[in-house]
Structure 1
Amino acid sequence: MADLDTNARKHIKDSNFGLPDERKYPIEDIDHARNALARVAQHGTKAEQEEVRRNVERKYPSLKHD
């Protein structure tokens, strides 16, 4: 997974974040999506976890949680 510097992060579309309104938990590639799921599980509220999971599964169906 490549590190995101500030400039690169500014150029990510809102739709490539697990929480697009807050621009939190980038999911622009599958590695970042997996990391977003792990981080929100550690630090996010239940509602944030559900929203990130929904957005990740919409973008990467292969990560769908059964």
Structure 2
Amino acid sequence: MAKLSDEDRKKLKDGDFAEPEKRKYPIEDETHARNALSRVSANGSEAEQREVRKNVEKKYPDLEKD
């Protein structure tokens, strides 16, 4: 997974984040989406986990679930 620079992160649309209102957990590609799921699973509240899963599944419906 390529590191996302601050400049590139600022260029992303809100819809490229699993938590768009916070611009948290970028999901601009499937690799970042998997990473977002992993990070929120380890560090997020249950509400955050539900929101991130919902938004990842919406953007990547064919992404394999672990």
Query: Which TM class, normalised by the smaller chain length?
Result: over 0.9
Report SS of the residue matched to 1:63. coil
Q: Which runs of 5+ in 1 are unaligned?
A: none
Give the share of equivalent positions with the same residue, in percent: 58
Q: Which runs of 4+ in 1 moved over 3 A?
A: none
Q: Tell me which residue corresponds to 2:30.
A: 30
Alpha-carbon separation, structure 1, partners of 2:45 and 2:17? 16
Alpha-carbon separation, structure 1, partners of 2:30 and 2:63? 9
- Please state how far the C-alpha of 1:64 moved relative to its aligned partner: 5.9
Is residue 37–residue 49 contact of structure 1 (8 Å, CA) maintained in 2? yes
Is residue 26–residue 33 contact of structure 1 (8 Å, CA) maintained in 2? yes
Q: Which runs of 5+ in 2 are unaligned?
A: none
Q: Tell me which residue corresponds to 2:6.
A: 6
Alpha-carbon separation, structure 2, partners of 1:40 and 1:24? 10
Number of matched pairs? 66
Alpha-carbon separation, structure 1, partners of 2:62 and 2:38? 16
Is residue 57–residue 64 contact of structure 1 (8 Å, CA) maintained in 2? no
